[in-house]
Amino acid sequence: MVKKNVLRKLSDSELEKYLIFGNRFTPEAVEAAFEILQERGRYFNDQDKVSVQNLIQDKKQEEENRQNEEKEVWKDHITEDPDTVKLHSLTTILIISLLFSTIPGSALLFLNFITVKKYIPAIFTLLIGFGFFFVQNYILQSFFDINTSSRYSPEMGIIALGAIILLVISVTMMPPKLPYRSKSLVLPVILAMIMIIFMYLNFQHWFSAYPIISVFSLLKNF
């Protein structure tokens, strides 16, 4: 946000730089500089005023376009076009990572990278997925009470961080704004069932922080 009082400390010649086409100042800064110059008695004819307003509008449009572009990058570009590649959706990867750890989530993202022939990111994804799980497990068991039932606990934040990391990997390493058809949920369901078995066994309490463990505990009490 532009602080007008800061701009008031600038000289007229410095403020005039804000009105030059091609400058890198924000539209709010340009508008504030224009108003300050007018307050100081600087005369602008109608053509000058139109020129400055056009500059401000152009900058606002550029800013809006940039924000829209950034939003597009993070969107899941699912389509029904039969000519597009089939991938596991980001939504599926995020959900399975949150519920069952980054291991199955990274496996699905690994297959996506293989499908688009990005082999180095594919291997990197698996390493991150498995590596994060064990680092996360060490942190949770060493520094937190994994028996807490609060859904706002730090443990859930760390689990969510793993899913976010996979999301960032997908957005930054997959072809940008790639349209694709969503693959069948058969494989994600199979992976989920396998993870449920591992979670039920809960070897060395690796999965104690996950919500599904609480479900198992409730079922055992019936």
Q: Are residues 123 and 209 in the same domain?
A: yes
User: Strand, helix or coil at 152?
Assistant: coil
Q: Are residues 143 and 117 in the same domain?
A: yes
Domain boundary among 74, 97, 119: 74
Residue 143 inside a domain? The answer is yes
pTM: 0.73
Cα distance between residue 21 and residue 142, in whole Å:
57
Question: Which DSSP state fits 101?
Answer: -
Q: Are residues 180 and 205 in the same domain?
A: yes
Burial of 153 (0-12, 13-18, 19+ CB in 10 A): middle
Long-range (24+ apart) CB contacts under 8 A made by 69-74 are: 72/177, 73/171, 73/176, 73/177, 74/171
Q: Are residues 104 and 198 in the same domain?
A: yes
Residue 52 inside a domain? The answer is yes
Number of domains the chain is built from: 2
Q: Are residues 64 and 92 in the same domain?
A: no
What interhelical angle do 90-100 and 102-115 show, nearest 10? 150
Characterise 20 by phi-psi region: left (phi > 0), alpha (psi -120 to 50), beta (else). Answer: beta
Q: Are residues 17 and 56 in the same domain?
A: yes
Q: Are residues 172 and 115 in the same domain?
A: yes
Residue 18 inside a domain? The answer is yes
Answer whether 81's CB lies under 8 Å from 69's CB: no
Domain that holds residue 9: 4-74
Q: Are residues 70 and 94 in the same domain?
A: no
Model pLDDT, residue 69: 79
Q: What is the pLDDT along the chain (222 residues), one digit of tens a residue?
A: 567 888 888 998 999 999 998 888 999 999 999 999 999 998 999 999 999 999 999 999 999 888 887 777 777 889 888 999 999 999 999 999 999 999 999 999 999 999 999 999 999 999 999 999 999 888 877 776 655 555 456 778 888 999 999 999 999 999 988 999 999 999 999 999 999 998 888 877 788 778 777 776 666 666
Domain boundary among 46, 74, 102: 74
What interhelical angle do 90-100 and 186-201 show, nearest 10? 10
Q: Are residues 207 and 98 in the same domain?
A: yes
